[in-house]
Structure 1
Amino acid sequence: MPKHIKNLLTHKLTILAILITISIATVSLIKLGKAPVKINHLDKFEHAFAYFILTTIWLRALKTTKISNYFIVFCCFFYGIIIEVLQTTVTTHRSGEFWDVVANSMGILIAFIIYNSFFKKNKAI
């Protein structure tokens, strides 16, 4: 693939990663209505999925930089903790939970494992 197309794709992935980061913060801090159907622990799967996507996109967006994958994973983990703390401290309608941090971490860990076992082996992707 020509270099200028790869650079453009990487730039768009960075913008997408920033938008996903902002979206997670927004959804995590705004007041949401009650779910019409209550499914036990569904929110933990939502947390894991959101942080899986967040981590995967950041890993892909920063693939060609010198930034360590471990640093990206750490930043996603730290971001999740910050969001949980903000839910407790700056909102009156949300509360940070330890199990949300665990769910976030599981999504991050799964993304890191899949990225390292799939994307790193396939340099063309």
Structure 2
Amino acid sequence: MLKKHALLISVAYTLTLFTVSLIRLDLNKIEDLVPSFSDKMFHFAAYGLLTCLWFYVIITRFNFTKMKTLLIVTSACIAFGIIIEVLQKELTNTRSFDLYDITANIGGVVIAASIVLLYKKSHVK
């Protein structure tokens, strides 16, 4: 069932991440409750999940090797994160470009890709 809906889930997650990244969020109340670095933890986890979702979609739909799939997915996820940061700077008044967000995004992508790379399963090439 996951294979059947993986593309839809990945597209929906990507669009949600895109939207949440560009809308205005009032975080003043939340910042009092959570550590200041929690934003970076969210970026790390969000982009790690993005990487895993799209890896699964690509590896199950195309006849690519695991390494080729990882290269495509990690490149796309890193580019997506950078583009989002630029759009935050250019299109919104409430968001800003943050190199630490990009670093957290890349960290999530790299760790997720490393886990996928180390994960051995017979149907993944």
* Match in the other structure for 1:91: 92
Which deviates more, 57-66 or 70-79? 57-66
* Match in the other structure for 1:14: 7
- Aligned partners of 1:66 and 1:76: how far apart in 2? 20
Task: Supply the RMSD in Å over aligned alpha carbons.
Answer: 1.6
* Match in the other structure for 2:54: 58
Question: SS at the partner of 2:59?
Answer: coil
* Match in the other structure for 2:79: 78
Deviation (angstroms), 1:36: 2.4
Question: SS at the partner of 1:40?
Answer: coil
Give the conservation status (yes or no) of the 8 Å contact 1:48–1:105: yes
* Match in the other structure for 1:5: none
Deviation (angstroms), 1:66: 3.6
Structure 2 residue runs of 5 or longer lacking an equivalent are none
Question: SS at the partner of 1:50?
Answer: helix
- Aligned partners of 1:122 and 1:16: how far apart in 2? 22
* Match in the other structure for 2:23: 30
Deviation (angstroms), 1:100: 0.3
Question: SS at the partner of 2:93?
Answer: coil
Give the residue type in structure 1 aligned to 2:122: K
Give the conservation status (yes or no) of the 8 Å contact 1:11–1:61: no
Structure 1 residue runs of 5 or longer lacking an equivalent are 1-7
Question: SS at the partner of 2:29?
Answer: coil
Question: SS at the partner of 1:62?
Answer: helix
Give the residue type in structure 2 aligned to 1:83: I
Deviation (angstroms), 1:116: 1.0
**Number of corresponding residues:** 116
- Aligned partners of 2:8 and 2:74: how far apart in 1? 18
* Match in the other structure for 1:123: 122
Give the residue type in structure 2 aligned to 1:95: S
- Of 37, 42, 45, the residue aligned with 1:46 is 42
Question: SS at the partner of 1:87?
Answer: helix
| Greater share of helix | 2
